[in-house]
């Protein structure tokens, strides 16, 4: 996959720095989990299913798992 470039604002940088002080997580793992959480919660089930099916045939095996794990993340946060 092609690398994407983004500019992090200072508030996000501070939050990441503080989170990194308290938890042992790689930056790329944190970004991937955060983006997945955000995107899955912004899209409906069909959009997620279509996106993962288009991305990779193997990924289709994990669509339901992705949706379930995101719902689990939501439930843990509230």
Q: Mean of the per-residue pLDDT values for the chain?
A: 77
The percentage of residues in the chain with a pLDDT greater than 90, rounded to a whole number, is: 15
Q: Which of 49, 48, 53 is nearest to 37 (CA)?
A: 48
Check residue 11 and give its pLDDT.
96
* Measured torsion, CA atoms of residues 10, 23, 25, 73, in degrees rounded to the nearest 10: -90
CA 40 – CA 70 distance, rounded (Å): 7
If you average pLDDT over residues 20-38, what whole number do you get? 88
């Amino acid at each position: 996959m092609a690398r994407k470039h983004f500019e992090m604002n200072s508030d996000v940088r501070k939050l990441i720095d503080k989170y990194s002080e308290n938890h042992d997580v790689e930056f790329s793992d944190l970004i991937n989990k955060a983006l997945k959480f955000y995107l899955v919660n912004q899209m409906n089930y069909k959009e997620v299913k279509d996106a993962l099916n288009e991305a990779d045939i193997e990924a289709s095996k994990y669509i339901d798992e992705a949706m379930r794990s995101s719902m689990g993340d939501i439930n843990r946060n509230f």
